[in-house]
Structure 1
């Protein structure tokens, strides 16, 4: 024991300090306290880097502290997002035999009937935006919400703990299949800990109960099966990933050259069948209209932490007297077309015959989408950063640090964003992206060396 302490005393002290910082984050932070938020996040990120610097090959140590960091949040109420109230609401509806895609929370409240447990508390806790819109969470996510509500025993805290445990299990699954995938790609398998110990992952997933990690788990599992040439089994797993969150749907075309035409047709067919099978229990004549309406709102009505969109908006409003509410609708429709074109160009003009190139192409497509879209919540970056671990690109890791700047908006009553902070975020992220694309090789920074 003494010899272990002598060899590992600094990483152990870093881990203890991280636990204390995470505890403060979980139980003694309000999101309007921007200075404290930035300081705590910056401290945990610095310690994360130092731990990886000292112990990147020590699997057991990194596994144990990664689990401990997550368990700190076990009974904490999320303090950076109210979305979990809607998650539990949808789960309670399903548990009581009600399709969550057919009614908005406001509609059910107006009926004046008690249809689920903790109805008043859940409705009061969720944002007005969530309360007045139909659910936009795909079927597998809904099933996990229902499971959490079932395990939670009509208790908000119980449902939160159940969701938290599901998310932690998904991260452990990413660690398991991520190491195997890295071995298949002839890359250092410790690279997966850049995901597993990342403060953004721990805070936004385990802490704030977002399900990007569950989506990533099935996605990485599918990639591993593809690396093993088991595409028949990979397809339904990929379908589950899509049905947790829709993001992997955007990346499907990139597999065309890797699989070849014949296998691609089979893979796409099985994936579509898998998605339809998961959708079937929730289908009703009005489901498609309600879901499409909600998705359209997310693509063309909301803005948060936008990069290029903010530049376009500033120019259009200042010099062309454009109306912001009309601009975002037009911009959303245009960006959808641009991202489709970018995806097709990368699909057909990059040499995607090998899986490492395929994964890099996926990172590029998703990055272009996030750079262009009008809404990039911090937890969105988790999926991008997670798949980048299997590529040679490291700018998403930089983004996982800088995205915290977007939370400054919550310090303002009207959620008004500080454009200079967003400019710093995107200049650093896009700058590092350009550096990696045109300045590769010996000039790579030590921070992200393998």
Structure 2
């Protein structure tokens, strides 16, 4: 027997077994308030996953199998770091019983005499007063996925969770396939896709906590792959589907301005306008089944809350807010919530008109910068928002998103106390790490690149 081969075979198995044990503890033996256990488990599984990818980066099927295994561990667990899934179930069952989730607020709907919904009280309690007091803000294709669960699981919360989880796992498998194809097409190392697929942040926040950014990322990656292979009309339709899951990719549309070019000096405006129209038409058509006179105002009112009322895990905004307290003596979120998005828009327009987006790699890099600027200027940065910039970073030479997905777990400290108070020192540590690695990436950009 060749003991050297046996040792090489056993090592990744030990790493996979250890990760599986930590993920099982995450899924079935963790409360969100237990911050130190949360941090310990996360750091351990992050380190093990990082080493596993480093050691086995050329063993595609082993890493792909591990990624699927880690996700299946969560299959029968209720999410323990987020309560959003209760609203997903509510909206899905609402649609299957003929109610429009964009027209009715849960707290008001449950008081109606003619209203009946399986486990309504339990769902209202689970989603919390904030969600129960506002219209749904999830775009139409996301609602369609909720409705599938509502149709297949009419009276079981766990049953609905399992259906959601299978959808997200399938989306991640799609991202694995087309992300790998896109990396290959761009001449980049294929194993980079595992910095997303095997990233504990993705596994825990998407499969574990049921955030549908995973589906949005799948459609975005597929759209970029189709664009790279010159199937630009289908790319536009798929891009529209991505927006219909989560609105965030909509901010990336200006970056296509000089992508469609007939040569280095002129743009093909017909292609550009057609691309934009196909994206917008896809999004608009997805809203048709939910159309009512109130839909636009209700939907935008819910979206507007994120800019003018909510604040969590912010960076630049918290500095602006502190200055506001010193100068004005009160929280200036309503003003900052309007000014900071405007600055984000100006940055995106600058990236669109003053930087080269003629190739797919240049386009993706500027997409990464655009989303990063948006997040750094946002009033609310939930951990799962990092999914899209993490994926985009794989197609560039920038590595700072890997560091951000490690330190973003510090934001969960807010849930370790009854007042949900954030720790400014932990937030400072998080963003200092992010800015350090971002600065280092920018500084080293002119030097010879090393694959990661």
Normalising by structure 2, we get a TM-score of: 0.96
Aligned to 2:133: 132
Tell me whether 1:322 sits opposite 2:329 in the alignment: yes
Aligned to 1:92: 93
Rounded to whole Å, the distance in 1 between the matches of 2:26 and 2:114 is 38
Aligned to 1:362: 367
1:193 aligned counterpart, secondary structure: helix
Q: Which string of whole-angstrom CA distances, capped at 9 and with x for unpartnered residues, describes residues 286-310 of structure 1?
A: 1011011111111111000001111
Partner of 1:373: 378
Matched, 1:76 2:81: no
Match of residue 121 from structure 2: 120
Alpha-carbon offset, residue 352 of structure 1: 0.8
Distance in 1 (CA, whole Å) between partners of 2:152 and 2:197 is 26
Q: Which residue of 2 aligns with 1:11?
A: 12
C-alpha deviation, 1:441, in angstroms: 4.8
**1:33-432 matches, cutoff 5 A:** 33-260=34-261, 261-317=269-325, 319-324=326-331, 327-432=332-437
Query: Structure 1: how far apart are the matches of 2:379 and 2:280?
Result: 28
Compute the TM-score of the two structures, normalised by the length of structure 1: 0.96
Unaligned runs of 5+ in 2: 262-268
Deviation (angstroms), 1:174: 0.1
Secondary structure of 1:258's match?
coil
**How far apart are residue 193 of structure 1 and its match?**
0.7
Q: Give me the whole-angstrom Cα distance separating, in 2, the residues matched to 1:149 and 1:48.
A: 35
Report the alpha carbon displacement of residue 272 of structure 1 after superposing the two structures with TM. 1.1
SS in 1 for 2:351: helix
Alpha-carbon deviation of 1:148? Answer: 1.4
Provide the C-alpha distance between the structure 1 equivalents of 2:73 and 2:201, rounded to a whole number of angstroms.
Answer: 15
Shift of 1:262: 2.3
> How many residues in Structure 1 have an aligned counterpart in Structure 2?
444
**Would the aligned equivalents of 1:257 and 1:352 in 2 still touch at CA under 8 Å?**
yes
Tell me the equivalent position of 1:440. 445
Structure 1: runs of 5 or more not aligned = none
Cα distance in 1 between the residues matched to 2:89 and 2:378: 28
Distance 1:216 1:433 in 2: 22
- Asked if the contact 1:11–1:50 (Cα under 8 Å) also holds between the matched residues in 2, the reply is no
The alignment partner of 1:154 has SS state of coil
Answer yes or no: is the 8 Å Cα contact 2:118–2:154 preserved in 1: no
Contact residue 152 and residue 160 of structure 1 kept, 8 A: no
Deviation of residue 154 (structure 1)? 2.3
Q: How many angstroms does 1:312 deviate by?
A: 1.3
Q: Is the 8 A contact 1:152 1:161 kept in 2?
A: no
Q: Distance in 1 between matches of 2:86 and 2:97?
A: 17
- State the 1:212 CA deviation: 0.5
Cα distance between partner residues in 2 of 1:441 and 1:39: 37
- Per the TM alignment, residue 443 of structure 1 is displaced from its structure 2 partner at its CA by 8.1
- Superposition RMSD in Å: 1.4
